[in-house]
């Protein structure tokens, strides 16, 4: 297997490509990163070929992280009409091998390559990357267009990403106000998942529910409108951000309990860097730790905001490194 991989992080709007050198200490070649609008290409293979031609690069293997469910040799992008066939993509690119993984498998694998400066603690518990060979279990959540959820199990020097659809777990309200928000959202959506609150559109859902409670018509807003008005001192927008952060903390703590991620939870996705100050000065950590008899245990678990600008590509590079190591040890 070649040391040089073509890697990609494919979302519903943009496709990011780069090269990874699996023999290098830092495998993601950051100067090779390029981003394209997926709407400009009829298929992943054609977008990948365009990248290789533009970068004047070649590769024989690819790891493509996609924002959608991977079912055997096929993947469907959740918010875009691409249907990706692994055998057809490999044939069109002339590659020896192509691997399709879920985008949160990549987000989880990125943990294995993070340096201390790639994350910022939310709360007072610091994080130090684990020494090689030590067992670890991590959780990862990422609010963006939706809510991605996954985990990483590290055993005997091997990384095992956990691909989940945890964003679609039912929302558990923790206060009377949140119960009322649930009632309002239930009237609109029926079943209410965590993703209905903890993502960009979810912030708007929270704000609209709070406005209904207050008897106020907010009009049509986007997530950026809510955060901008909160920064300008709008009381209902400020409250929406507070509720968002508190619920985010509660479900992050629930995920730690669910998969035993005592070594830390990583907060990624497009909203986290934009809301970093709000997360730090909110009820996020209080609700994260507030788990009854397990509160003392939760107080020792790090919660970490990811600042790395290309976490998905970094995770795809980590996945490629793991593939090469597995082949070498086989």
Where do the structural domains in the chain lie, given as residue ranges? 4-114+309-328, 166-306
List, for residues 4-33, the tens digit of each pLDDT value.
999 999 987 889 999 999 999 899 999 999
| Fold exhibited by the domain 4-114+309-328 | Nucleotidyltransferase; domain 5 (3.30.420)
150 is an annotated ligand-binding site residue: no
pTM for the whole thing?
A: 0.93
pLDDT of residue 132: 77
pLDDT of residue 1: 59
9 is an annotated ligand-binding site residue: yes
268 is an annotated ligand-binding site residue: no
12 is an annotated ligand-binding site residue: yes
List, for residues 251-304, the tens digit of each pLDDT value.
999 999 999 999 999 999 889 999 999 999 999 999 999 999 999 999 999 999
13 is an annotated ligand-binding site residue: yes
Residue 156 makes CB contacts below 8 A (sequence gap 6+) with 133, 135
Range of weakest confidence among 1-15, 189-203, 218-232, 294-308:
1-15
94 is an annotated ligand-binding site residue: no
pLDDT of residue 80: 77
The reply to whether domains 4-114+309-328 and 166-306 share a CATH topology is: no
Written as one string, the DSSP assignment of 232-288 is TT-HHHHHHHHHHHHHHHHHHHHHHHHHT-TT-EEE-STHHHHTHHHHHTSSHHHHH
Say whether domain 166-306 belongs to CATH 1.20.950.20. no
List, for residues 52-74, the tens digit of each pLDDT value.
999 999 999 999 999 888 889 99
Segment 202-229 shows an average pLDDT of: 96
pLDDT of residue 133: 80
């Amino acid at each position: 297997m070649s040391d040089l991989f073509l890697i990609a992080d494919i979302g519903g709007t943009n496709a990011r490509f780069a090269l990874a050198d699996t023999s290098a200490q830092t495998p993601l070649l950051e100067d090779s990163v390029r981003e394209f609008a997926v709407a400009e290409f009829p298929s992943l293979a054609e977008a990948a070929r365009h990248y290789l031609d533009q970068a004047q690069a070649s590769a024989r293997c690819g790891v493509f992280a996609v924002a959608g469910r991977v079912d055997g040799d096929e993947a469907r992008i959740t918010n875009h009409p691409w249907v990706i066939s692994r055998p057809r993509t490999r044939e069109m690119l002339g590659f020896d091998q192509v691997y399709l993984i879920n985008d949160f498998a990549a987000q989880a694998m990125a943990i294995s390559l993070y340096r201390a400066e790639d994350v910022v603690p939310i709360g007072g518990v610091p994080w130090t990357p684990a020494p090689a060979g030590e067992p670890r279990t991590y959780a990862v959540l990422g609010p963006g267009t939706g809510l991605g959820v996954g985990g990483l199990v590290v055993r005997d020097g091997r990384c095992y990403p956990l691909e989940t659809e945890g964003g679609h777990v039912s929302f558990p309200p923790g206060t009377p106000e949140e119960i009322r928000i649930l009632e309002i959202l239930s009237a609109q959506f029926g079943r209410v998942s965590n993703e209905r609150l903890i993502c960009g559109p979810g912030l708007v859902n929270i704000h609209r529910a709070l406005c209904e409670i207050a008897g106020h018509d907010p009009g049509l807003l986007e997530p950026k409108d809510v955060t901008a008005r909160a920064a300008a001192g709008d009381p209902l927008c400020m409250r929406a951000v507070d509720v968002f952060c508190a619920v985010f903390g509660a479900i992050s703590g629930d995920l730690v309990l669910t998969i035993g991620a005592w070594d830390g939870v990583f907060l990624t996705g497009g909203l986290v860097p934009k809301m970093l100050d709000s997360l730090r000065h909110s009820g996020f950590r209080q609700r994260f730790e507030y788990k009854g008899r397990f509160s003392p245990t939760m107080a020792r678990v790090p919660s970490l905001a990811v600042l790395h600008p290309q976490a998905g590509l970094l995770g795809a590079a980590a996945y490629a490194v793991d593939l090469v190591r597995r082949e070498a040890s086989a």
